């Protein structure tokens, strides 16, 4: 299985999940452990912390609990931490990094960032300080203790200063970025120089959640404002770092899911009812990519199709009861789902009738009003659905969704 979220490719070839879990202001106790564990359980594969957050130890504990719970390995999780202002300078940075490693209880981190370029105490010396800090990070990178190095809160002039005297240019700039603060100049500079942008506070520190326009958008598309914001950020090819300590909010922020895993789960959960009616199923999957959408509704859609197929098979009352499920991807990056049964089938007239949006055709059509739900969910996800059927032979439902691309070159 591929990681259940889209990734960007950094300038050195390292892949970074586009949706991360931020841990700022999550207390260094069981709250941090539980939040990170829940995030990994939900599907996050990117965890962001910092020395300044003072929660690295329990973030590390939460990661280990999440790995144990999901059966994943350390290499499956992208971990970021940062060097704080008072820790900057060549020797200080080397020492600070080792302390972060100990607190996280890890052999390496995936990314290390300079947290801020300038503070009041070093307003006159920030240029030399960030360059010394960067040279220490370059050393750690060459030693393999860090997979990628970058900066945080750097504006264009900060980046230009650092890049004027560095061997390895920054791979990431983590900045405040959301629909109310798009930092256009910095983002354009980063994209021009192959620097991936990360968004801290992607929900505008909560203020954006009161935006009237976004509220209307959320109501229109039956989403939360947080989901609208995160979707907008991801569409800009920016890494989003939402944070929450509430399991339900953690789950609602994450809507990129692995289609293969979902299908396998549905088939597994349906075995009891299928066996009850003596229905044999075959499952063929040649696709391991991702989809962006409402996972619960896709689950609901799939279950309704299976119910329809079971009803059709029982109506025919045939000894050999079969449902074949096929999931493949095509060269156009689409997910093709086919569910084929050997039930009672339909005439061509019935097929045409049930394919009319919101049709409530009954009679010999075992699809009935259940198809309305299926059709509506497919349309909500910009999908296509076709039905081919033959009376006394069976029915094939074919649904096509767009794949949520995992990798985008920067």
Query: Mind telling me the catalytic residues?
Result: 53
b/e 135-164 (16+ beta carbons within 10 angstroms → b): bbbeebbeeebbbbbbbbbbeeebbebbee
Q: What tokens were used for 21?
A: 């879990």
Q: Which residues have C-beta within 8 Å of that of residue 284, sequence separation ≥ 6?
A: 324, 325, 326, 327, 328
Pairing state of beta strands 394-402 and 384-390?
Answer: antiparallel
Q: Would you say the C-alpha torsion 150, 151, 154, 158 has a positive or negative sign?
A: negative
Cα–Cα distance for residue pair 88/117, rounded to 1 Å? 10
List of residues 6+ apart from 151 with CB closer than 8 A = 113, 114, 117, 130, 158, 159, 162, 170, 172, 173, 174
> Per the structure block, which two tokens stand in for 76?
């499956």
For residue 206, count other CB atoms closer than 10 A to its CB.
Answer: 9
272: number of Cβ within 10 Å = 8
Burial environment of residue 68 by CB neighbours within 10 A (0 to 12, 13 to 18, 19 or more): exposed
The region that residue 17 occupies, defined by phi over 0 for left and psi between -120 and 50 for alpha, beta otherwise, is beta
Strand partners, 337: 327, 399
């Amino acid at each position: 299985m591929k990681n259940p979220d889209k990734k960007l490719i950094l300038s050195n070839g390292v892949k970074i999940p586009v949706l991360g879990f931020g841990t700022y202001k999550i207390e260094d106790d069981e709250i941090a452990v539980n939040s990170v564990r829940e995030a990994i359980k939900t599907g996050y594969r990117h965890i962001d912390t910092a020395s300044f957050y003072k929660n690295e130890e329990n973030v590390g504990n939460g990661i280990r609990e999440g790995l144990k719970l999901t059966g994943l390995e350390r290499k499956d999780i992208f971990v970021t931490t940062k060097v704080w202002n008072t820790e900057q300078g060549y020797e200080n940075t080397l020492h600070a990094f080792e302390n972060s490693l100990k607190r996280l209880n890890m052999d390496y981190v995936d990314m290390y960032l300079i947290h801020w370029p300038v503070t009041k105490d070093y307003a006159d010396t920030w240029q030399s300080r960030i360059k010394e800090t960067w040279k220490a990070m370059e050393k750690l990178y060459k030693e393999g203790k860090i997979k990628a190095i970058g900066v945080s809160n750097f504006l264009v002039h900060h980046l230009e200063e650092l890049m004027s005297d560095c061997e390895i240019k920054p791979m990431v700039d983590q900045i405040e970025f959301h629909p109310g603060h798009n930092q256009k100049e910095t983002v354009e500079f980063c994209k021009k120089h192959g620097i991936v942008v990360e968004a801290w506070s992607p929900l505008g520190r909560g203020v954006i959640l009161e935006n009237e326009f976004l509220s209307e958008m959320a109501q229109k598309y039956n989403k939360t404002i947080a989901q609208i914001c995160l979707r907008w950020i991801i569409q800009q090819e920016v890494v989003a770092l939402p944070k929450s300590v509430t399991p339900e909010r953690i789950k609602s922020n994450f809507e990129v899911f692995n289609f293969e895993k979902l299908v396998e789960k549905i088939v597994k959960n349906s075995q009891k009812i299928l066996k009850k009616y003596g229905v044999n199923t075959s499952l063929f999957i040649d696709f391991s990519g991702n989809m962006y959408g409402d996972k619960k509704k896709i689950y609901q859609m799939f279950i309704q199709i299976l119910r329809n197929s079971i009803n059709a098979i029982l109506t025919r009352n045939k000894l050999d009861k079969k449902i074949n499920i096929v999931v493949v991807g095509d060269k156009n990056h689409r997910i093709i789902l086919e569910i084929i049964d050997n039930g009672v089938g339909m005439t061509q007239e019935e097929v045409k009738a049930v394919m009319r949006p919101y049709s409530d055709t009954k009679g010999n059509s075992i699809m009935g009003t259940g198809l309305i739900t299926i059709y509506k969910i497919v349309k909500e996800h910009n999908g296509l659905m076709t039905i081919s059927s033959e009376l006394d032979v069976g029915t094939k439902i074919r649904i096509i969704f767009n794949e949520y691309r995992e990798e985008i070159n920067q």
